[in-house]
Amino acid sequence: MTRAAVLPAVGAPLEIAEIVLSDPGPGQVRVRLAAAGVCHSDLSLSNGTLRQPVPAVLGHEGAGTVTAVGAGVDSVAPGDRVVLNWAPSCGACHFCGLDEPWLCAHAGAAASTPYARLAADGSELYPGLGTAVFAEETVVPAHAALPLPEGVPLVDAALLGCAVLTGWGAVHHSARVRAGESVVVFGVGGVGLATLQAARIAGAGPIVAVDISPEKEELARAAGATEFLVAGEDTAKRVRKLTGGHGADVAVECVGRADTIRTAWSATRRGGRTTVVGIGGQDQQVTFSALELFYFGRTLSGCVYGNSDPAKDLPVIAGHVRAGALDLGGMVTERIGLEGIPAAFDAMVAGKGGRALVVF
């Protein structure tokens, strides 16, 4: 048995409970978690913004050590340190054939298949986003366990599983930021902090961070922001003032709200690029006039998992971690146990802190 934070129903409080994991079957691995990041997507799963069969063990940003492997698994072995990939690509669908593994048609398949049971009554449990890392141990498909490159601390490596890959990819794959371009990042949570670091590594400048909380300025500047703005009605105007009067070359929206997306768009120059990383609800409608679409010539694009191929990107990111250019530990503002996850959810709703990390 192992302890886990269980979501009994959509909108219900998390419950700490004992669960029973089966031995890994063919093509599966069992992982003992070292740490798990608390991501806004987990909050979205818990409140129904994103769909997830329940009861479920949430958590999708994690790293740990392989303890057992099922038949046919040769990619990892017991004792290997791994980062969990919540959207593993199948390699065979239409999107994988287009070399767009982040859009894989089967990436979410594991999330809809029961993987464990509640020890109390034997009820089947589903793995949140296929990984279920809000638990001391989990069982995942082998291709969801990526070997952790050497030189990266295992606990901090949990952030590589979502926040860092997403922020890195938003800058380097989706927006394709070039040295010397100006970048504005909306939302200084875990993904926002990773995005700021990625923009700094790309040689961007100026780098403007925008958040509703003035307390995040120190975090933002440590991550690479050269300017910090508290969000307000005139945010776009202030961004233009900081970028030569034209607007930023690139805006990255890490909030997932219609008003923030609209502001990010308005804060970019003619011909600028806005990448939307934040996940909003179906009720969040963004509107544009036909004339402004023509006149400004801006590009608005969605960004799934940073448009990343984790197997290719992890070694590159790890190189920056080893070189001291990317600080994983600096993104963590609180280290908690499983019992601290509900409070971490509340902090995200209130716009407080960076990344909370569950350390086992």
CA distance 42 to 60: 8
* % of the chain with per-residue pLDDT over 90: 92
CA distance 213 to 123: 41
- Please compute the mean of the pLDDT values over residues 321-326 and round it to a whole number: 96
Confidence of residue 50 (pLDDT cuts 50, 70, 90): confident
208-235 confidence digits (pLDDT tens): 999 999 999 999 999 999 999 999 999 9
69-98 confidence digits (pLDDT tens): 999 999 999 999 999 999 999 999 999 999
> Residue 108: CB partners within 8 Å, gap ≥ 6?
87, 129, 130
- 146-184 CB burial, b ≥16 within 10 A, e <16: bbbbeebebbbbbbbbbbbbbbbbbbbbbbebeeebbbb
Look at residue 239 in the predicted model and tell me its pLDDT: 98
Confidence of residue 285 (pLDDT cuts 50, 70, 90): very high
* Domain spanning 167-304, CATH class: alpha beta
90-119 confidence digits (pLDDT tens): 999 999 999 999 999 999 899 999 999 999
- Please compute the mean of the pLDDT values over residues 122-149 and round it to a whole number: 96
Confidence of residue 353 (pLDDT cuts 50, 70, 90): confident
CA distance 354 to 38: 10
175-202 confidence digits (pLDDT tens): 999 999 999 999 999 999 999 999 999 9
CA distance 59 to 41: 9
Whether the Cβ atoms of residue 223 and residue 183 lie closer than 8 Å to each other: no
pLDDT at 303 over 90: yes
Domain coordinates in residue numbering, the chain: 2-148+328-359, 167-304
Look at residue 301 in the predicted model and tell me its pLDDT: 96
- Give domain 2-148+328-359's CATH architecture: Alpha-Beta Complex (3.90)
Within this chain, domains 2-148+328-359 and 167-304 share the same CATH topology: no
